[in-house]
Amino acid sequence: MKRRFLTVSAALVAATALTGCSRLAGSEGGPRKVTLWLMKGSASDEFITRFTDSFEKEHPGIDLEVKIQEWNGIGKKVDAVLDGKSTESADVIEVGNTQVAQYVENGGIEELTLEGLREWGSKDWLRGLSDPGTIDGAQYGVPWYAANRVVIYNKDLFANAGVKALPKNRQEWIQATQKLDKGDQQGIYLPGQNWYVLAGFVWDEGGELAVETSGQWVGTLDDEKALAGMEFYKQLQALGDGPKGADEETPPQSEVFARGQVAQIIAPPSQAAAIEAANPALKGKIGFFPIPGKTSDKVGSVFTGGSDLIIPERTRDRRGAVDVITALVSEKWQTELARTMSYVPNKTTLAHVVQGNEGAATMAPGAAQGRATPKSARWAEVEAKNPIKPFMTAVLTGQDPKQAARTASEEISKVLGSDH
């Protein structure tokens, strides 16, 4: 999401300032300004305007300023705010759910464990959002919204192949995909390096990408359970012509699907819009179903993408920042955001609010048991080098899986164990 910087400032609301907190901005009179950083594309302009107006009406002593930030380069900007070296300030910041550990290690984030328990219903939070925000038992990142991958399918191709019932488990999925993979038609387009999809298969087998033992992180792709996940990936990937040495963006898989000869891809439901834009003839012919699990009683594990909210220790107004988060994670605004942006709400108990949205409703079962990447502050560096991708290609091209996995695991361990 590399887009142009945009700032949305709320209108000033004249009110008497609240007192009694050691960190209140504007405590000598006039409204207190609370600044919220949101990422470009996370919420629509309309949502931001309605939320700001509502919040200021309910909190007449606060002027809420919303600043929209670019994902590109955001890490350095957030670190600068957290360590007090920035010319800008923020009281609440949206961050990627897997970024929290890195920011916590660098320091400067408020702990929000008690607020989570008392005010925000943390017991019902999606694990894929809450776990990455929890470090050593303390909550720093507050789940805001989630999105995850599902199977996007071509209804006409399913009907033509005689696939009447959507698959509920892996065996049914393989059988249906075998029927769909014929002639110039691909049963599934699964590029060889879609490691987010592989992670779900590994978790389904009880494996992990990496584990922490006695304070030391080590890669575990060479574990038998992780290798079983890779073996299923290989079996599924063979039922199409996805490139073994490329990921889902090379080329964009939505473009491949839009050509009309691919029965399935694994992607967030939001890609349906890109597919229909590329090929309007597919409008109304695209369907969704959760990634099947090993058995019919449980959908497949998925990587949970999405965002958490953090409060810098240097906030000028902690109470105001907490109030902003309280509003953003309330049922009212979680419902508004989910319906507006086709997200999954931050709680399992709110999954029902997206029932009218086919794509979001299909994500919800997976999100309820979704996972995130290992909670190491170094994990972003693993993704930058990404030894998982060449491991996958090696296995798909016939190399020894155990040896390829061992090489990748050693590289993961090396990166995660590095000192800064």
Residue 13 has pLDDT above 60, yes or no: no
pLDDT classification of 23: cutoffs 50, 70, 90:
very low
Residue 29: the pLDDT is: 62
- The mean pLDDT of 12-34, rounded to a whole number, is 51
pLDDT classification of 25: cutoffs 50, 70, 90:
very low
- The mean pLDDT of 147-164, rounded to a whole number, is 97
Residue 22 has pLDDT above 50, yes or no: no
Residue 37: the pLDDT is: 98
- Taking alpha carbons only, the member of 302, 271, 295, 258 closest to residue 173 is 295
| pTM (global) more than 0.75 | yes
- The mean pLDDT of 364-372, rounded to a whole number, is 93
Residue 227: the pLDDT is: 98
- The mean pLDDT of 326-343, rounded to a whole number, is 96
Residue 297: the pLDDT is: 96
Residue 257 in contact with residue 275, Cβ under 8 Å?
Answer: yes
List, for residues 258-316, the tens digit of each pLDDT value: 999 999 999 999 999 999 999 999 999 999 999 999 999 999 999 999 999 999 999 99
* Highest mean pLDDT of the ranges 8-17, 77-86, 377-386: 77-86
Residue 92: the pLDDT is: 98
How buried is residue 130: exposed, middle or buried, by Cβ count under 10 Å (0-12/13-18/19+)? buried
pLDDT classification of 42: cutoffs 50, 70, 90:
very high
Residue 384 has pLDDT above 50, yes or no: yes
What is the C-alpha to C-alpha distance for residues 236 and 234, in angstroms, rounded to an integer? 5
- Taking alpha carbons only, the member of 247, 307, 321 closest to residue 74 is 307
Residue 420: the pLDDT is: 54
What is the C-alpha to C-alpha distance for residues 320 and 335, in angstroms, rounded to an integer? 22
Residue 380: the pLDDT is: 87
pLDDT classification of 183: cutoffs 50, 70, 90:
very high
Share of the chain above pLDDT 70, in %: 93
List, for residues 387-401, the tens digit of each pLDDT value: 999 999 999 999 999
Tokens encoding 179: 């029927």
Residue 342 has pLDDT above 80, yes or no: yes
What is the C-alpha to C-alpha distance for residues 269 and 274, in angstroms, rounded to an integer? 10
pLDDT classification of 19: cutoffs 50, 70, 90:
very low
Share of the chain above pLDDT 90, in %: 89
Residue 31: the pLDDT is: 87
- The mean pLDDT of 221-238, rounded to a whole number, is 98
Task: Please tell me which residue, 419 or 325, carries the higher pLDDT value.
Answer: 325
**Could you give the angle at the alpha carbon of 145 between the alpha carbons of 141 and 151, nearest 5°?**
130
What is the C-alpha to C-alpha distance for residues 54 and 36, in angstroms, rounded to an integer? 15
- The mean pLDDT of 78-100, rounded to a whole number, is 96
C-alpha dist (Å) from residue 44 to 8, 256, 266: 11, 28, 25
What is the C-alpha to C-alpha distance for residues 363 and 150, in angstroms, rounded to an integer? 6
Which range among 7-16, 135-144, 356-365, 384-393 shows the weakest confidence by mean pLDDT?
Answer: 7-16
Residue 83 has pLDDT above 70, yes or no: yes
Mean pLDDT of the chain: 92
Residue 419: the pLDDT is: 65
